Structure 1
Amino acid sequence: MLKRLCLSVSAVAALSLVGAVNAAEYLNGIEWQEPAVVTPGKTDSDAPSDAVVLFDGKDLSLWNNGENWIVKDGVATTGKGRIQTKESFGDCQLHIEWAAPTPATGEGQGRGNNGVLIMDRYEVQILDSYENKTYFDGQAGAIYKQQPPAVNAMRPPGQWNTYDIFFTAPRFDDQGNLESAAYVTVLHNGVLIQNQFELLGDTPYSRPPQYKAHPPKAPLTLFEHGNAVRFRNIWIREFTPVKGKQVREPFIRNGNKETPIK
């Protein structure tokens, strides 16, 4: 009986300690804006309510030179020359679906070559890399000439591939000096292949990367390299973090007692 009583007292003490711990609350002293309400798409591929739908299967009217590509049965196929969005974007989330030509012809960089050029200068490579060898920082999902994908997540030619790209634009000061680099995260068919990669600059073919000051927003470009790459379901949403205002120093509240964090 005495043993049971001791156990009960110990249990009560433990519960009291848990209650005391839970009663203490850390407050950062920040007054936050209320996050906006966004309605997600019916699937992860569908555009959320705040996205700009750049290609919905009907036309390429939101793109410069879009009239020179082929739009049929909900699909846009590479035509003559690159296309570029009429609108400009900075920090963003980009969804794009693409398929390499069939039958597969050519090899290396000559097979299903295209590219997503963010801000018209930072390229995520599009290439038929299904059982097709090339230089690793030029295969599908590479940050061109800077970083290979962590893995090759390609589907066979003719099947649809999905890129979900999360991009942070570089920042420049008033004198055009780089303050912070560009960063990019890429999912290829739901597989993480680039994780917050810090770009070394732009992604040219014939020289080292470099940063040159440019506006905070710029167009999105799709290449044309003579391969009939197909595209569908392209949408983009600008990303703006919720802002907060520091209204007091951080503190711990425990009941009626407030302890500043120093």
Structure 2
Amino acid sequence: MLKGLYKSLAALFFSILLMTYIYFMFYQPFIQGSWSMLENVLSNWQAFNSAMIALTASVLAIYTTIYRDKKQCEREYICALAHLPLTLSSLIEYNENCAQVILRYYKDCKRNKHSKQRPFKEQTDELEPINIDKLAQCIKFASTADADHYKKIIEMIQVQNSRTKKLTVGISNVSYAMGLFDESLKLHVYLSNTFNHARNHFEAIESYRCEQKKTALLNCDIHLDTVPELHDYIQQGSATFKKIPSWKKLLTRAKLSILSYKKR
């Protein structure tokens, strides 16, 4: 936003400067004077005119370069978006495999009544680095809002891949399995909604609803009856991922500060 404001102010300043130059250098001497007066003005201000011509040429060259680079970046982004659906499909398939592994991990933890921990032998599919590279390519040419969205997806995938590699079975790990479920569902919603981005209907996701997580469960072929605790966990966690505006955070902090001061 500030970048666009600076560009507008720079364009306005240069336009005012150019109009002032044209008025006093050409319009006023010729209209209010004569042709000979115009020749005298141009002759006396040759050095200044040369500087103005050089300045105008430089501004046009800079504008042309910026415009060309912007269009090139847009074409690169369109090219990256063309490969995005295939990348998303592969990542969703990987995420659904992780969800199935987490489901079996959850059942194993429920069956294990002993406090002693043991490694969980089953492994998830390997995460293909090329899919991460494709998302990183989108970050390279995307706008700031879109780049933050892709960055969030990459972070979530890497966290999921790391946490599902080394799992230990124990009755105390049931709640941990619930957390893995919720993270997997959130990632599934992010990936599914990003398909609209490839169709030029992208909207940044600040939160996701409970219904979207239930849809993600069905897509992962997991039913709530299979995991009874998951129903309440989804209901309770439906608002935990909602992005709170910064002004509300500041207002809340101010209220807490006032209350703590009164208690003193």
- Shared fold (TM-score, shorter chain, > 0.5): no
TM-score of the aligned structures, taking structure 1 as reference length: 0.24
Q: Which has the higher contact order (CA 8 A, sep 6+)?
A: 1
Point out the structure with the larger strand share: 1
User: When the two structures are superposed, what TM-score results if normalisation uses the length of structure 2?
Assistant: 0.23
Higher helix share: 2
